[in-house]
A and B are shown apart, each in its own frame.
Chain A
Amino acid sequence: MNNVLRIVRRILDGVYAASGVLAAMCLIAILALIVAQMVARWTGEIFPGAANYAGYAMAAASFFAFANALNRGSHIRVSLVLNAVPSSVRWFLEIWCFAIGAAVMWYFTYYAYWFTFWSWKFKEVSQAQDATPLWIPQSVMVIGGGILAIALTDHLVHVIFRGDHRIRRDLVDQSHGE
């Protein structure tokens, strides 16, 4: 039983890390697209749809990084009450937070899946110059949202059985968002 848990743990951590790396690559892709667009403009060429591709990369960079950001404590929450209450109350409060968070994200993922499915089924294509089949970029919502939902559930289970979540805050890391 313990072995199984350890393997699950390792797979999950691998998924979070991999999606984080994927998100970082999307960020580099945004940079590359924008530079390409600028260079194209200066040399009198046109790079059709660059803005749209950059937008898709933006969505991908965000959604793939959600779970990674959660695990590193980057996502902002109002911690005033959490810090003020005794640890027994805090345990219930943490369960409540992770349960709500997980519920919201599972709901999101479910609808994102059907949204993407229909856009694949009806072969929806971007109205802009890029003419991308929309289900491809839209699927990042399903994958990224799903991974965040899994991560939240993972922490929820951890809080219930081990008493605490596995989020480690990093003040320096967090300071770049304030």
Chain B
Amino acid sequence: MEELYAITLFLFVLFLLLGSGVWVGLALMGVAWVGMELFTTRPVGDTMITTIWASSSSWTLTALPLFIWMGEILFRTRLSEDMFRGLSPWLARLPGGLVHTNIVGCTVFAAVSGSSAATLTTVGKMSIPELRARDYPERIVIGTLAGAATLGLMIPPSLALIVYGVTVNESITQLFFAGVFPGLCLALMFMGYVALYSRFSSKWNPIQETGMSFADKLKNSRFLIPVLCLIFVVIGSMYAGYATATEAAAIGVIGALVLAASQGSLNRSTFTESLMGATRTSAMIALILAGAAFLKLAMGFTGLPRALADGIATMELSRFELLMILMVFYIVLGMFLDGISSVVLTMAVVEPMVREAGIDLIWFGIFVVVVVEMAQITPPIGFNLFVLQGMTEHEMGYITRAAFPMFMIMVLMCFVLIWIPDIALWLPENMRQAPGG
């Protein structure tokens, strides 16, 4: 009985600190401290430092700041203009027309950036005014942008997957490749929706593009080619086993610097801004990871993860039922927490449960990322909604409704993943292992 009081107190402190607005990383440290004091007789302070030191000086983690930096550099280049100009001639003739530039643009930028909101800003900056000028229905423009931007978290490099990989000790390279096909599949589903919408909607009446010759199309997209090469080198070097995720990130940073320099958009201020921005963002995530590492240890002592895993085992839930419960759980959690925090916060409890159920941890990473992606476009704190609100000056409710079909498509994607797990698992199983993992 005393155990139960202790656990209730522990969970109460967790919700109290997080809910009242204490910074996530610090809240996790505080909660972990309470947990350690309640459940062990160990010297708490020393344990805390040892754990946090081990987790924050890890070599695997170095991929994180480098990939963030790479995205930051490209974010400050002319990429967003080039993206629209280069993609639109090729996509204009598809059913759904230029709305597809939103989706394809997000997919391309997702492959150089690990963040979903940065993808949204880069692509939307150019495509929103251009699409409005051509009279595309506002709702579908905003909806597709909100939905497709979440691909930033799924297509490698992905910050959420790095964080997940570090937390559950799985290979980051494998996770990256597991994300490729599901990401592309999701992009195709978005595009299919746009095509259908353009057929059946009465509001669909955009200005038609005039045809362009093949040579003109190529000329317009010549600026995109260097970016595509960079993506190819970064991802290819990991796939062929020449480089680890961290090394690929280093190649990416250098490639991005060269690209920005050749465009003339690299100067002292953009370099400093990108570097300082990357430093801050990576520090933000590092603080959460430090707190989470300590919390994971404390959680272990509470016996909560074990008890839950056993509980799930005795309930004899099927794998499908367990995944449905987790899906609903993460969607609800995502209403209050950002994606990265909800992954690291819950993994200490969810990981043993998932292992117990015999679910592949690589596959589960992709599943979790799809689910936390949804959180980016659900109110009240979906970050993509905030960014879009800033960019379009629509009210939150309107943007949420516009994004809702994309949310449903992502739910559908979860079922596709459960139904055909090989979408995620085929690629990582068929790649070459990098030296030193």
Contact = CB atoms under 8 A, between A and B. Distances in A.
Contacts of B29: 104, 108
Nearest to B251: A38
A74 to B, nearest CB: 4
Interface string B354-382: 00000000000000000000001000110
A24 interface: yes
Contacts of A51: 59
B283 A65 contact: yes
Contact of B45 (A54, A55, A107): A107
Interface of B: 17-27, 29-30, 33, 45-46, 48-50, 52-53, 56-59, 61-62, 65-66, 68-69, 71-72, 75, 113, 115-118, 120-121, 159, 243, 246-247, 249-251, 253-254, 275-288, 290, 336-341, 376, 380-381, 383-384, 386-387, 390, 435
Contact of A55 (B24, B26, B27, B59): B59
B286 to A, nearest CB: 4
Nearest to B391: A171
Given A35-B254, A65-B282, A177 B33 contact: no
A176 B263 CA distance: 22
Contacts of A61: 65, 279, 282-283, 286
A90 B184 CA distance: 44
A103 B33 CA distance: 12
Most chain A beta-carbon contacts within 10 A, residue among B22, B288, B341, B376 = B22
A24 B279 contact: yes
A55 B58 contact: yes
A79 interface: yes
Bin chain A's interface residue count: 35 or more
A176 B72 contact: yes
Interface string A99-118: 01101110110111011000
Contacts of A35: 250, 254
17 contacts: A23-B279, A28-B275, A41-B435, A52-B59, A54-B59, A61-B279, A62-B286, A63-B56, A75-B23, A76-B340, A77-B21, A82-B20, A100-B27, A107-B45, A175-B387, A176-B118, A178-B118
